[in-house]
Amino acid sequence: MTPGAYLTGHRFSCGRAGCPIMGCHPAIESWEDDSSTDAGRVAKWWRRRPYTVLLATGGRFDVLEVPAAVGLRVLGAVRLHTGVLGPERGDARGPVAVTPAGRWMFLVQPGEELRPELASCLDVLRHGRGSWIPAAPSRTPEGPVRWAVAPEQTGWHLPASTTVQAMLLDALDALGRRPRPTLPVIVPRQMSTARRAA
C-alpha cells in the first residue's frame, strides 16, 4: 500500500510543490520502494493527509483492468460456475474493485503477461511491476472506488491470471468483441522487372 494524491475539488494533490499531475498518482516519489503493509507506517501517512489508497502491483498480485460490460459478465460467470469451469478455468474467485468511471479491476496471481489476443485490446490493461491501482474507499471526482468482491469475501484468494484471462476472452466473445491475435505483416519482396515482363 502507498499513499496517493488526495482529492481537492476536481483535481488531485500530492502535496509536492509544483507537481503538474492533476489526476490520481502516488504522493511519494519512491512509492514502489516505500510501499508498506506495516500498520504503524500506514497510519502515520494517513494522519498527515486524506491520501488516496493505492495498491502497488506486480509483487504480491497483478491486476487485470477491463471495461464494465466485460467485468460484469466475467463476475457473473465466476459466481455461476465456480468449481465447474474445467481445467483451463480453475478457481476464478478473487477480489474485484470497481471505479466510478466503469473500470473493473480483477486482482490475480502475479507474473503472467497478457495473452496476445487481450494485449491487442486497447481497453484491457495488465497492471504488473511498476504500476498501481486505487483501492476502495478511495475517492475520485466521479465518486468512490468500491469492492464488487472484497478480499475478505474470497479469503484473500487470488486466481491464476490465465484463468481470468480465459474468462475475459469468453466475455469479449459473448459481447461480439473477441480480439484476434495480431499476426506479423509479411510484405512480399518486389518482383524483378525481368520476371514481371515474362
What is the pLDDT averaged over residues 39-57? Answer: 88
Task: Say whether both 73 and 144 belong to one domain.
Answer: yes
159 and 73 in one domain?
yes
Residues 35 and 122 in one domain: no
pTM beyond 0.85: no
Q: Does 66 lie in the same domain as 52?
A: no
Contact 30, 8 (CB under 8 A): no
Residues 82 and 163 reside in one and the same domain: yes
Residue type, 156: W
The count of domains in the chain is 2
Q: Residue 108 is part of which domain span?
A: 57-181
| Residue 190 maps to a domain | no
Is residue 79 domain-shared with residue 175, that is, in the same domain? Answer: yes
Say if 88 falls within a structural domain: yes
Judge whether 193 lies within some domain: no
91 and 137 housed in the same domain: yes
**76 and 152 share a domain?**
yes
19 found inside a domain: yes
Answer whether residue 79 is part of any domain: yes
Q: What is the pLDDT of residue 192?
A: 39
Query: Same domain, yes or no, for 144 and 72?
Result: yes
**Model pLDDT for residues 176-197, shown as the tens digit of each residue:** 876 665 554 444 444 433 443 4
Task: Kindly report, residue by residue over 54-88, the tens digit of the pLDDT.
Answer: 999 999 999 999 999 999 999 988 877 655 444 44
141 and 103, same domain (yes or no): yes
